[in-house]
Amino acid sequence: MNRKTIICVTPNAALDRTMVVPDFAIGRISRIDGAVAVAGGKGLNVTRAVRILGGKPLAMGLLGGHTGRIVAAMVAEDGYEALWTHFDGETRTCTIIANVDGVSTVINESGLIGPSDWEALADDICAAAERDEAYAVCLCGSLPLGAPAEAPFALIARLNAIGARVWVDSSGPALETAIQAKPFAIKVNRSELADAMGTKLRTVRDIRAAAGHLIADGIGLVVVSLGADGALLVMKDLVAKGISPAIQPVDPIASGDCLHAGIVAALADEEDFSEALRRGVAAGTVNALYAGGAQFPYPHFQRVLRDTRVEILGA
């Protein structure tokens, strides 16, 4: 490992089981051919996308019980480097019931950890960030029940103190707490930013202003993803918009994670911020063309990248 390692943390990892149930109905017994299970959670999507893009991810997070062992085995079989923190409970299972007409029902367990489990994870992340002199630590997704309310704040404060560049992609109270600790960067979508700021964000100008407040407060970089409209990157001395080619999306879930991965991987590779945004937007866009999270082929990313551009809105 070297300074280019990107630590991708999934505090609330899951076994995601997707079943296609054509005759799904409440109260009925359905018989299906099988289910597809994958190791799930936003940090694992970032892990996959970073590797496709040629970066060096290290997957970290909490795993417990039989389901935790299955998730660890799946990640190992796929050849990812990982450093898991084990807890005494059971890793959650999330169930996606897909109908043939494209309507999905999703049942997510919340995940539950004990009081000392979060501390153990925080210690492991700080130790890895110091030992491996990681390029960045990406904190991704929700927190399990049982994590202390101030958990992201305390962890980010510790990581800031050791000089790690922290990226946060979260929502709700976890994001609000994280923002107070002033991480290096946050990646949000429009509604996550609106919720965190307690305002409505109707126009790009509104989004730019909200991101500007965060920058004035001491966050280094804010990326706001806008679905088919691309993404906005706001820093003290740069405001840029990434614009992707028009596509027919197949499955845009995890496109935000691929945008996140694309930007961080490019920065770790010493690209500048505007080129990193271009790469991130292309990664998010190509992800939307494939079913499953972060499952796109690199040559297709390169083709989409050729048609992705960045407009500088301010410097």
Q: Which residues bind ligand ATP (CB under 6 A)?
A: 189, 225-228, 230-231, 244, 247, 249, 252-257, 259, 281, 284-285, 288
Number of H-type helices and E-type strands within the chain: 10, 14
By a kind-dependent CB cut-off of 5 to 8 A, residue 141 interacts, out of ligand ATP, Mg ion, none, with: none
Instruction: Give me the residue whose beta carbon is nearest to Mg ion.
Output: 256
By a kind-dependent CB cut-off of 5 to 8 A, residue 247 interacts, out of Mg ion, ligand ATP, none, with: ligand ATP
* Site of interaction with Mg ion (CB under 5 A): 256
User: Six-digit token pair at 97?
Assistant: 């019931």
Instruction: Tell whether the torsion through CA atoms of 167, 171, 172 and 174 is positive or negative.
Output: negative
Length of the chain: 315
Q: How far is the CB of 116 from ligand ATP (least distance, A)?
A: 30
In the complex with ligand ATP, the residue whose CB is nearer, 62 or 259, is 259
By a kind-dependent CB cut-off of 5 to 8 A, residue 5 interacts, out of Mg ion, ligand ATP, none, with: none
CA distance 36 to 186: 32
Q: Which of 253, 241, 312 is nearest to 284 (CA)?
A: 253
Catalytic residue (one of 16, 251, 257, 272):
257
Asked if 257 is an active-site residue, the reply is yes
Instruction: Give me the residue whose beta carbon is nearest to ligand ATP.
Output: 256
Q: How far is the CB of 90 from ligand ATP (least distance, A)?
A: 25
**DSSP class of 173:** H
| 5 CB neighbour count, 10 Å cutoff | 23
Q: How far is the CB of 224 from Mg ion (least distance, A)?
A: 10
User: Six-digit token pair at 286?
Assistant: 């190509």
Q: How far is the CB of 279 from Mg ion (least distance, A)?
A: 17
In the complex with Mg ion, the residue whose CB is nearer, 40 or 256, is 256
In the complex with Mg ion, the residue whose CB is nearer, 65 or 227, is 227
Q: How far is the CB of 40 from Mg ion (least distance, A)?
A: 14
Neighbour order of strands in the sheet with 92-98 = 35-40, 14-20, 92-98, 104-108
Which helix (H) or strand (E) covers residue 178, if one does?
helix 172-180
By a kind-dependent CB cut-off of 5 to 8 A, residue 152 interacts, out of ligand ATP, Mg ion, none, with: none
Q: How far is the CB of 254 from ligand ATP (least distance, A)?
A: 5
In the complex with ligand ATP, the residue whose CB is nearer, 89 or 230, is 230
By a kind-dependent CB cut-off of 5 to 8 A, residue 43 interacts, out of ligand ATP, Mg ion, none, with: none
Please list, in sequence order, all residues whose beta carbon lies within 8 angstroms of the beta carbon of residue 7, skipping any fewer than 6 positions away. 57, 58, 60, 125, 128, 129, 132, 134, 136, 137, 138
CA distance 198 to 49: 31
In the complex with ligand ATP, the residue whose CB is nearer, 12 or 189, is 189
Please list, in sequence order, all residues whose beta carbon lies within 8 angstroms of the beta carbon of residue 95, skipping any fewer than 6 positions away. 17, 19, 106, 107
In the complex with ligand ATP, the residue whose CB is nearer, 212 or 249, is 249
| Enzyme catalytic residues | 257
